[in-house]
Amino acid sequence: MQVTLTLNDLNALSDRARQEIQELLFPKGAGKPEGYKNYDWNNVYDLTESQIERLIAGLGEPSRNALKVIASKGPAVDARELDKTGVSSYGSFQSGIHRRLRKITGDDDACLFTFDDWSENEDGIGHFVVSLKTFESLKNYFKQQDE
């Protein structure tokens, strides 16, 4: 059996349906950045540019600024890189992004990031890591915004 989907067909699908198709075509693990493959990627989404646009549309300026830092320095960034973005709490930033993503995807477990074990670092601060697909989508989104 062969199925053909046009870009219009894909765009007409819900975010969750697009995600399921993407998972079938590109198995989890294909979009993990080098050096971070043993992190917990189970619920980390690979976001398209249109999903990034919807995600960012519902965020405050500090969170948008933080995602712009990830787009420019990622796919993995030391959380301290976000200090000058207006993010006052790494935990609040993470939970706010994930709440917004879960609203968009309809998946109560959806995550944008994976993390290292922050408790292993002397200062208790670690990294935010996004998938390679999400990283590319973030870069393209902010490039278009800057034009």
Pair 27, 53: CB distance under 8 Å: no
- For residue 127 the two structure tokens come to 């990294």
Show contacts of 58-61: CB within 8 Å, 24+ apart.
58/100, 58/103, 58/104, 59/96, 59/97, 59/100, 60/96, 61/86
Pair 89, 79: CB distance under 8 Å: no
- Going by pLDDT thresholds of 50, 70 and 90, the confidence category of residue 56 is very high
Q: Where are the domains of the chain?
A: 7-146
What pLDDT score was predicted for residue 76?
A: 94
Contacts of 139 (CB under 8 A, 6+ apart): 71, 72
pLDDT at 65 over 90: yes
Q: Give per-residue pLDDT as tens, 5-29.
A: 787 887 788 877 877 776 666 554 4
Q: Give per-residue pLDDT as tens, 67-121.
A: 999 999 989 999 999 999 999 899 899 999 999 999 888 889 999 999 877 777 7
List the 114-115 sheet strands across, edge first.
76-78, 127-129, 114-115
What pLDDT score was predicted for residue 30?
A: 53
What pLDDT score was predicted for residue 38?
A: 78
